[in-house]
Amino acid sequence: MFQSFESHSSPDQGPPRLALLRARLAEMGLQGFIVPRTDAHQGEYVAPRDERLQWLTGFTGSAGFCIVLPDRAGLFIDGRYRTQVKAQVDLAAFTPVHWPEVQPGDWIRNNLTAGLVGFDPWLHTADEVEKLEKALKDSGAGICPTRTNPVDQIWLDQPAAPLGRVFVQPEALAGESHGVKRRRLAEALRQAGQRTAVLTLPDSICWLLNIRGADVPRNPVVHGFLLLHDDARAELFSTPAKFDAAVRAHLGPEVTLHPPEDFSSALRGMTGPVRVDKGSAPLAVANILREAGVEVQWGDDPCRLPKARKNAAEIAATREAHLRDGAAMVEFLFWLDREAPKGGLTEIDVVQALEGFRRATNALHDISFDTICGAGPNGAIIHYRVTEQTNRPVRAGELLLVDSGGQYADGTTDITRTIAIGDPGDEARECYTRVLQGLVAISRLRFPKGLAGRDIDALARYPLWLAGQDYDHGTGHGVGAFLSVHEGPQRISRLSEVPLEPGMILSNEPGYYREGDFGIRLENLIVVEEAPAMGDNRSHLGFETLTWVPFDRRLILAERLAPGERDWLDSYHAGVLKRLGSRVGADTLAWLRRACAPI
């Protein structure tokens, strides 16, 4: 099994660890310290060594941070985790803070009258630090970088740095060689008058060099830093032991490999201007360059948009990955429909069965994240992870929310289905239907070129808004091609200002959650494409659906659907049957025909 079910949260350890940290801060002459969830690569998913926030507080979410002061410790969490945090931390020691509604600078101003709050400059971007400094201007409090991380100093059994094996991503799946990619990006550097770009994001480095790794659970990336020069040469700073002869031969003579401890000295020897991404590179990178007299120019990671705009080979491979994964999901849903009425299933049973169906494809590299399987009230915990302690029976009369995905060499999948176990009642059906209508609205959408995720996010929420309901997460995130299941910069969110472009893969996942009762989320992956000409021939974009798995017809109130929604749903289900019918067993096919019957 890829997924395990032990609890990684230790709320009882929070207070003594917090006391140790405060004692260390006092020795350093600091009034506070910021403990982020991220690592030096600004990763959402981090290696065990970098789980500082979890180690200190017990909170296991994928986003957030803690600001420790002498008399209080604010744990900043967004809407996805406001239910989860209550069960994972000692609320007498840590105070949950609703973020981004409350910004860290404002919170420090209100809770610290004088003194300095430290931060590790390798764990924060220049953008973050600049906003904090601006917010604290003219206050008695300030922030300052530390030479060492005080959490690392008190974490005596901190795991070692990861040493995952690096392997090659074939050009047939990547769509072009890493030499072609490097030369194209180097030309852009020359046009900008920049000598070098610093890459710090693992998925950018993996995309650029057509490699994959195993340094982070669920995400096939390698930790490292890379210098891309204007002559297309690249210097990669990563533990050499991870790279075997085949990978070194793949990289070739234009990519030189150095140990990570040489990175800082290499920065000091640079000739500027050097491009640094203000929003993703550690502040320490810019500080080292400036201290050495090297000119820094802020600019986006040059891989950011090319990586997001999948080429034809990547999209074709991703389609195949979704068909394979869709067939595994259909086998799973047939199994669940057969077994759940018998009673006796638990959330862990469901997770293990689903992983088994994916493994049976003989193509599964890993799951793309720990499966979220919430029965009844656990479905309302948006990023719920079942453990032996929380494992709940799958009971009749309840909803079961299953959000899961697979990592395959040809693509990354992410799908959510909410399933009726017995009869969950009309209220659940009404909420499910509204969520489905939101997904259909995004799926059917045509929109003018130049619009960003924020311009279309409301369309998924409109059916819920009519009923006075909403959900506290974005409608969609970007997805990589056998890379990170959460990929920027593309997303469907009120906060996203990045224009959507052809080739960008996104999730389409509206939801509704009633704490203590049930959760509903439905998710397909979609890819932006040129829309066929019509009307006055303005340039429009639309979405191609990548995910093909039936929705639970038992939860759909057909009379609430508009004719266009009903037509889309019937067409989608016909497409599921056409694409997957030959990929599943005979008994499953009979079930699939019923599941895909017209509404």
pLDDT surpasses 90 at 97: yes
Mean pLDDT throughout 361-373? 98
For residue 545, the Cα-to-chain-centroid distance in whole angstroms is 20
For residue 69, the Cα-to-chain-centroid distance in whole angstroms is 30
pLDDT surpasses 90 at 130: yes
pLDDT digits (tens, 9 = 90+) for 458-498: 999 999 999 999 999 999 999 999 999 999 999 999 999 99
* pLDDT recorded at residue 183: 98
Is residue 507 a contact partner of residue 523, using CB atoms and an 8 Å limit? yes
What are the Cα distances from residue 466, in Å, to 435, 438, 457, 459, 525? 12, 12, 15, 12, 25
Q: Is 507 exposed, middle or buried (0-12, 13-18, 19+ CB in 10 A)?
A: buried
Measured between alpha carbons, how far is 395 from 340 in angstroms, rounded to an integer?
A: 8
Measured between alpha carbons, how far is 315 from 325 in angstroms, rounded to an integer?
A: 15
Domain spanning 11-154, CATH architecture: 3-Layer(aba) Sandwich (3.40)
pTM confidence score: 0.94
pLDDT digits (tens, 9 = 90+) for 294-339: 999 999 999 999 999 999 999 999 999 999 999 999 999 999 999 9
Mean pLDDT throughout 242-261? 98
Q: Where residue 1 falls among pLDDT bands split at 50, 70, 90?
A: confident
List the chain domain ranges. 11-154, 167-303, 309-595
Percent of the chain with pLDDT over 90: 93
Of the candidates 73, 54, 71, 74, which has an alpha carbon nearest to the alpha carbon of residue 63?
54
Mean pLDDT throughout 350-354? 98
pLDDT surpasses 80 at 7: no
Mean pLDDT throughout 435-442? 98
pLDDT surpasses 80 at 8: no
Beta bridge partners of 415: 404
Measured between alpha carbons, how far is 314 from 172 in angstroms, rounded to an integer?
A: 9
Q: Where residue 403 falls among pLDDT bands split at 50, 70, 90?
A: very high
DSSP letters for 516-545: TTEEEE-BEEEEEEEPPP-TT---EEEEEE
Q: Is 265 exposed, middle or buried (0-12, 13-18, 19+ CB in 10 A)?
A: exposed
pLDDT digits (tens, 9 = 90+) for 161-205: 999 999 999 999 999 999 999 999 999 999 999 999 999 999 999
* pLDDT recorded at residue 358: 98
Residue type, 109: R
DSSP letters for 305-326: HHHHS--HHHHHHHHHHHHHHH
* pLDDT recorded at residue 243: 98
Instruction: Give the residue carrying structure tokens 């610093």.
Output: 198
* pLDDT recorded at residue 10: 80
Q: Where residue 45 falls among pLDDT bands split at 50, 70, 90?
A: confident
Domain spanning 309-595, CATH architecture: Alpha-Beta Complex (3.90)
Domain 11-154 shares a fold with domain 309-595:
no
Q: Where residue 215 falls among pLDDT bands split at 50, 70, 90?
A: very high
Q: Where residue 259 falls among pLDDT bands split at 50, 70, 90?
A: very high
Length of the chain measured in residues: 599
Check if CATH label 2.60.200.30 holds for domain 167-303. no
Mean pLDDT throughout 404-417? 98
Which tokens belong to 545?
């659906």
Mean pLDDT throughout 137-154? 95
